Structure 1
């Protein structure tokens, strides 16, 4: 004799075969869902563990500092090559040199890129000493802009270039230049007129020496 089906408290009667099948299906669905959540949590924990291993395994240290450029040594090599002194900017604590070297062409140019050492300061100034050149060379560097005015800095007359929109194409806002013996010295970049003038004044002794030697 078969055992009677148990009475389900919620129903007050035995389950029908259909209700039993539905209950088991729902229980199975809930179980599978819980397993999926557990699997996702396990995968997340495993991923975080891998990330932690990578983070702590990578060697750490101070950020790489800007490469020091010995502009005086490079300038001495330029002087040997060109048979004429190359200007060496007096940097102090405010400036740093980002690049320095000869640029081939007609004329050959001694190029030094200078920028503020402090991160909060913005802009740059390029020092370009064109060997055996005069003011007619400057527009080659200034997108065709010629001098429109002059200013006296350190007792010397400097050409002033109104760069305008053509300068903006090269991120240039101000430029001045002066003759230094046989060479033409151009200072141009995105620093203010006052900041550029300070740099120009620091070069006056060397520029005067070039003028006297010619």
Structure 2
């Protein structure tokens, strides 16, 4: 004898075959949806774990250190090459060297670029010692600007150049130059006249020595 279909409480009667099929289909849908959510959560967890492994596994290394320039060593090599002394700024605690090199061309030049060691200080000064040159060489570095005045620093007379708009592209606002024996020494850049004069004063003994040796 066939067992009668159970009465469904919500219906108060047995389910019809269509209702039974619909209920099972809905149960399957809900189950599949829950599985999809679980799969999504599991995939998210795996992704986060992989990212964490990459972040912590990749070597960081140390921050790049500031390149140290051996100014005295480079100067000695230049003197050996040129068979002539060069002016070497004493850095103290204020200046650092950004570049030091021998520049070739129609006039060979010993170039040293200085900037304040304190990053809160702005500007730079370049020392350019042109070998076997005079004041007529300086305009080559200053966009054709000729000296407009002179200033005496520590007993030595310096030509004064004021590049103005002509020096704007190169960020040159002030320059002074003086003859040092057979060479011409030019200080130019974006520091103030006072700051440039202080550097010039510190170079006086070396420049005087060049003058006496010529």
CA 1:135–1:41 in structure 2 vs 1: closer, same or farther (change >3 Å)? same
* Contact 2:135–2:179 (Cα < 8 Å) also in 1: yes
Q: State the Cα distance separating 1:130 from its structure 2 match.
A: 0.5
Match of 1:172 in 2: 172
How many angstroms does 1:116 deviate by? 1.8
What do you get for the CA RMSD once the two structures are aligned?
2.4
Mark the CA change 1:39 to 1:181 in structure 2 (over 3 Å): closer, same or farther.
same
Provide the secondary structure at the position in 1 that maps to 2:137.
helix
For residue 67 of structure 2, what is the aligned residue in structure 1?
66
Shift of 1:198: 0.9
CA change 1:81–1:52 in 2 (3 A) is: closer
Indicate how the Cα distance of structure 1 residues 28 and 149 shifts in structure 2: closer, same or farther if over 3 A, else same.
Answer: same
Matches within 5 A, 1:1-214: 1=2, 4=5, 7=8, 9=10, 14=15, 16=19, 17-54=21-58, 58=59, 60-61=61-62, 63-69=64-70, 71-214=71-214
Structure showing greater Rg? 2
| Residue correspondences, number | 209
1:105, 1:207 → 2: CA distance? 23
Gaps of 5+ in 2: none
Output one character per residue of 1:131-174: Cα deviation in whole Å (capped at 9) or x when no partner. Answer: 11111111111222222222222222222222223312112222
Structure 1 runs not aligned, ≥5 long: none
TM-score normalised per structure 1: 0.84
Cα distance in structure 1, aligned partners of 2:12 and 2:144: 98
